[in-house]
Structure 1
Amino acid sequence: MISDRKLEHLLLCKNCDVEYRKKTGLGDVELIHKALPEVNMKEIDLSIDLLGKKLDSPFIISAITGGHPSATVINRTLARTAKILNIGMGVGSQRAAIKHPELTSTYTVVREEAPDAFLIGNIGCQQIELAQKSIEMIDADALAVHLNPLQEAIQPEGDVDARGHIESITEMTSTLETPIIAKETGAGIKAEDAITLEKAGVSAIDVAGSGGTSWAAVETYRAQDRTMGDAFWDWGIPTAASTVEVCQSVKIPVISSGGIRSGLDAAKAIALGADAVGIALPLLKDAYSGHEEVVNRINKFNEELRVAMFLVGASNIAELKKSDLIIKGETREWLNERGFQTSIYARRSVE
């Protein structure tokens, strides 16, 4: 049953090692220090406008859960955080509640708890018939259409017929008034796919690169034969590389997620071109201790982001996106081999 699988996913993410062994690539990104920042750190503005909604900082609680009674308290806690801090929040796939209406409250709790928050619904990329119901269920400001071929390939009961996804997404964007966010689930998005998604009409892209939660790892724990999941545990495009590929290829907003673990990580992702960043696993673990823990973590992220912005002389997020940085190591090698010029980031401030 879907609900049982949702509970398994929650418990595995909470209690097991499900993160990529390889890193995000953000360690290869170095923001260039500015000895004369000429800004007041206390006056730095972290706010952003995303799909028509103003948020007090660029952090989004990425899609985590729903679809099992135990998810209700988690979503309530996360939604309370989103309300307090005026940040965005996504829910997990809503198919479970549409197939089993008795689970609806595990999702609707987020709008009840955070009536004015920027909330993102969630369905699979071929589930056109569920789109409007998912939006209405939580009065969503946007709908994430998740792309998860890696998880489906490793999941014992996975759906591995991936034909018609672009046609499905195009139909959703042309028939729904709510903005559609194309969201990977941890394996990243390459430039060519980002261009295709933009042409299909999506309003934003969440790269969800490799380096954070590995859904191949999660499904490995559920499988009787773990050899396949172990072999593909680290499959994907590292978050830093995926962020550059997508940001240099499309003109729509980009969310960078996948292993963002600090405000400094967020600063690097935004300097690479992202408009916002998403965080999931650390907040899920904090949520079991209550919303104060989640609020404290996001506040710490905000302070780390503010310090990083001060040290590069950025008074707001738009200026951070123009700051100088160096891309080194495997990330530079990846991007150069893929035809992306990494040197363009080094002296943007003098242009």
Structure 2
Amino acid sequence: MSTSRRKIEHLELCAASPVESRKTGAGFDDVMLVHRALPEMNMDDIDTSIRFLEKEMNAPFMIASITGGHPETTAVNAALAEAVEELGLGIGVGSQRAAIEDPSQEESFSIVRDKAPSAFVYGNIGAAQIREYGVEGVEKIIEMIDADAIAVHLNFLQEAIQPEGDRDASGALEVIKDICSLAVPVIIKETGAGISHEDAFILKEAGVAAIDVGGVGGTSWSGVEVYRARERKDTESEMLGELFWDFGIPTVPSIVECSVSLPVIATGGLRTGLDIAKSLALGASVASAALPFVGPALQGKDAVVKNIEHMLKEMEVAMFLCGCRDLKDLHLAPTVISGWTHEYLELRGFNVKDFALRSTNKDFQRV
């Protein structure tokens, strides 16, 4: 099956089928921002602006990589791009592999920069494909959308389930090191299984500019492959996909795992502005989501804008109730981690109490 055909299958399945994590959530239910009954501020004065990888954004939010690579995806990417341009946010495109294999598919990606000339836009290619196309291939996909950054996605769980998947993960670190010399920042992006502290440290040493945790809790690409396998009557792939549907590290603990002094993008199961606020309080620089905007994008730009604006209003309410005037305050907001996430992080050696005891008030002394 061609890469282009697979891309439209993925989009259709995400739009019409239950593909989210089933047993394991992202972990946001285990996170509580400590309420400030006396926020001592005007909510209208909240500043959500951020400078991320040398690009100004009106809020710490991006539409994560969704699609591209098939003629029917062009309108979807256009609607998404128009929305982020209007709101001053960021966006990633889907894997550009299809356009490398078939240059006629380039418009489904380049439309994003056409419709979002001033937004933060990042390109996207798999680590396995870099081995095949080399640094020159990566430069081509950057040029294709005039990208502000390039995301290298790690989707080896999905590759392991797909009959046509690339299961050779050897040498991935070396090719990542190779492209870190390019003129644009390199983002390493997991696609639903999370990133551990060990891998985050290795990636930092390799020279990457940011890490997108892509944790368990949102779209399960193993789950997507279950539906594809079922249609093909491929019993083995279907059984593998079912078993590994929720495999990996949930988004919340993965944010903490990736605390290696690099910007972190929180992706995977974020569905509200409160989730965005919690992500930033835990250490993320920016948050992103994909699945919530698939349906609205099929309706058009206005539907996407409406959904994002609602999420950003929810984030501002959360900031107000925590006494946070800006994102710097939010990064210091006292945050309680409980439940399974607390247990996991403690067992992994992280001191979760530190999150609960901090304060945005420099004059505050605990009595």
Q: TM-score range by the shorter chain?
A: over 0.9
- Please state if 1:259 is matched with 2:266: no
Structure 2 match to 1:40: 42
Alignment counterpart, residue 324 of structure 2, candidates 314, 319, 322: 314
Q: Distance in 2 between matches of 1:13 and 1:236?
A: 20
Structure 1 match to 2:303: 293
Structure 1 match to 2:89: 87
In the TM superposition, what is the alpha-carbon distance from 1:10 to its structure 2 partner?
0.5
Structure 1 match to 2:140: 133
Structure 1 match to 2:239: 227
Q: Deviations over 1:131-159 (max 9, x none)?
A: 10010000000000000111101112100
Q: Distance in 2 between matches of 1:337 and 1:155?
A: 33
User: 3-state DSSP class of the match of 2:74?
Assistant: helix
Q: Distance in 1 between matches of 2:297 and 2:334?
A: 36
Structure 2 match to 1:210: 216
User: 3-state DSSP class of the match of 1:251?
Assistant: coil
In the TM superposition, what is the alpha-carbon distance from 1:38 to its structure 2 partner?
1.4
Structure 2 match to 1:7: 8
Q: Deviations over 1:273-312 (max 9, x none)?
A: 0000011001111101111111011100111000000011
Q: Distance in 1 between matches of 2:89 and 2:317?
A: 19
In the TM superposition, what is the alpha-carbon distance from 1:42 to its structure 2 partner?
0.7
- Please state if 1:51 is matched with 2:58: no
Structure 2 match to 1:154: 161
* Moved beyond 6 Å, runs of 4+: none
Aligned length: 348
Amino acid at match of 2:35: H
In the TM superposition, what is the alpha-carbon distance from 1:81 to its structure 2 partner?
0.5
Q: Distance in 1 between matches of 2:284 and 2:290?
A: 17
In the TM superposition, what is the alpha-carbon distance from 1:347 to its structure 2 partner?
1.5
Q: Distance in 1 between matches of 2:293 and 2:342?
A: 30
Unpaired stretches in structure 2, ≥5 consecutive residues: none
- Please state if 1:124 is matched with 2:126: yes
Alignment counterpart, residue 26 of structure 2, candidates 24, 27, 44: 24
User: 3-state DSSP class of the match of 1:146?
Assistant: strand
Note the 1:166-245 alignment, pairs <5 A. Answer: 166-174=173-181, 176-223=182-229, 224-225=234-235, 226-245=238-257
TM-score (structure 2 length as normaliser):
0.94
What is the aligned-residue identity percentage? 51
Q: Distance in 1 between matches of 2:66 and 2:205?
A: 28
Structure 1 match to 2:291: 281
For the aligned residue pairs, the C-alpha RMSD in angstroms reads 0.8
Q: Distance in 1 between matches of 2:207 and 2:147?
A: 18
- Please state if 1:268 is matched with 2:278: yes
Unpaired stretches in structure 1, ≥5 consecutive residues: none
